[in-house]
Amino acid sequence: MSAVSDRLPTFPWDKLEPYKKTAAAHPDGIVDLSVGTPVDPVPELIQKALVDAADSPGYPTVWGTPALRDALTAWVERRLGARGITHRHVLPIVGSKELVAWLPTQLGLGPGDKVAYPRLAYPTYEVGARLARAEYEVYDDPTTDLDPTNLKLLWLNSPSNPTGRVLSKEELTRTVAWAREHGVLIFSDECYIELGWEADPVSVLHPDVCGGSYEGIVSVHSLSKRSNLAGYRAAFLAGDPEVLGPLLQIRKHGGMMTSAPTQAAVVAALGDDTHVREQRERYLARRTALREALVGHGFRIEHSEASLYLWATREESCWDTVAHLAALGILVAPGDFYGTAGETFVRVALTATDERVAAAVARL
């Protein structure tokens, strides 16, 4: 059996520990803008739904309750503009990271198969390919950069983590057409789709993009950021039933089921738009304050038109920038965590309390 180190890259966040210690030594304490983990309360209506379902002694189903599937289909049609979505078009998952890491394996990919993902990307796309022992490559534009031979899985990510870039409707449409022409399966990571600031993100499931057909396309959605449910592990897939059906069977065998109380919480969360608007307003205020402070401190912000991050550079090594900010008690993520193309950038998360964001602004 091969060593884990042979199959997986070094866990990137371990490299940040010395800088975290430096930032934590600041007299006014650390402002941690590195990991994008929510800090605001879970909305009360969601907590109530979870508590009301707490007496759940039996096993939940992998496909979820009919009420959950109703909530998923209704949200996909209402929020994404998709049409004709049935229960066969949706599938609950145990948080989106689990899906990203294990999807190539669950699809049956292996040596000789290729997985592609953006040049600047969430590291787990690579991890998923490596766990399946598949090959992997990166792209700027998949329609021009990739050879479709043996390409089995194409990851899209809009809005992007880490850059906040949003793919236009035209870019998505062109990519879907290219993938269908070459028989390539698309999974579109849209976990930040509710958080557009200077752009209105469009789903790959929108009829203007997919032509009203979901053949060969699946979108990935999470409630971690929109509803502060990172601790609940609540996410889902929507798209091609011919892809989701086999995944459902595989996940049944693997026991990959969302807890019954979490399923009830998701029903409540997807049925309420008010708390999403309120959370957006919190993030927008933090984004505005941090952006102005960073620019005033000599940073240039690139993309960042959506998502929970500012993609910032001082045109130097990202680790020099990390060290500079750590000395001010501010911890950020180095851009090379997301690919070599990010080696002069840092990712600044908006996920800190108003008080901590104000502290960072004052130090900058």
If pLDDT is split at 50, 70 and 90, which confidence band does 8 have?
Answer: confident
In terms of Cα–Cα distance, which of 120, 184, 94, 170 is closest to 337? Answer: 120
Return the pLDDT at 12: 74
If pLDDT is split at 50, 70 and 90, which confidence band does 3 have?
Answer: low
User: What is the C-alpha separation between 100 and 131, in angstroms, rounded?
Assistant: 11
The CATH number of the structural domain formed by 45-270 is: 3.40.640.10
Q: Which residue has the tokens 């396309």?
A: 217
CATH number of 4-41+275-363: 1.20.1630.10, 3.90.1150.10, 2.40.50.140, 3.10.129.10? 3.90.1150.10
- Residue type for 362, please? A
If pLDDT is split at 50, 70 and 90, which confidence band does 11 have?
Answer: confident
Whether 257 shows a pLDDT value over 90: the answer reads yes
What's the start-to-end Cα distance of the chain, in Å?
A: 49
- Residue type for 311, please? W
Model confidence pLDDT, tens digit, residues 60-93: 999 999 999 999 999 999 999 999 999 999 999 9
Model confidence pLDDT, tens digit, residues 107-152: 999 999 999 999 999 999 999 999 999 999 999 999 999 999 999 9
If pLDDT is split at 50, 70 and 90, which confidence band does 238 have?
Answer: very high
Return the pLDDT at 2: 55
Give domain limits for the chain: 4-41+275-363, 45-270
What length does the chain have? Answer: 364
pLDDT average, residue stretch 191-198 = 96
Q: Cβ atoms within 10 A of the Cβ of 4, count?
A: 7
Task: Return the percentage of the chain with pLDDT > 90, whole number.
Answer: 95
DSSP designation for 204? T
Model confidence pLDDT, tens digit, residues 27-63: 999 999 999 899 999 999 999 999 999 999 999 999 9
- In degrees and rounded to multiples of 5, residue 187 shows phi and psi of -115, 120
Can you name the residues that pair with 156 across neighbouring β-strands?
A: 188
79: Cα separation from own chain's centroid: 17
Model confidence pLDDT, tens digit, residues 259-312: 999 999 999 999 999 999 999 999 999 999 999 999 999 999 999 999 999 999
pLDDT average, residue stretch 190-202 = 97
User: What is the C-alpha separation between 102 and 95, in angstroms, rounded?
Assistant: 12
If pLDDT is split at 50, 70 and 90, which confidence band does 1 have?
Answer: very low
User: What is the C-alpha separation between 153 and 155, in angstroms, rounded?
Assistant: 6
- In degrees and rounded to multiples of 5, residue 361 shows phi and psi of -60, -45
Query: Contact at 8 Å (CB) between 284 and 258?
Result: no
Return the pLDDT at 6: 66
Return the pLDDT at 4: 62
Model confidence pLDDT, tens digit, residues 135-147: 999 999 999 999 9
Its pTM stands at 0.95
| Mean per-residue pLDDT over the chain, rounded | 96
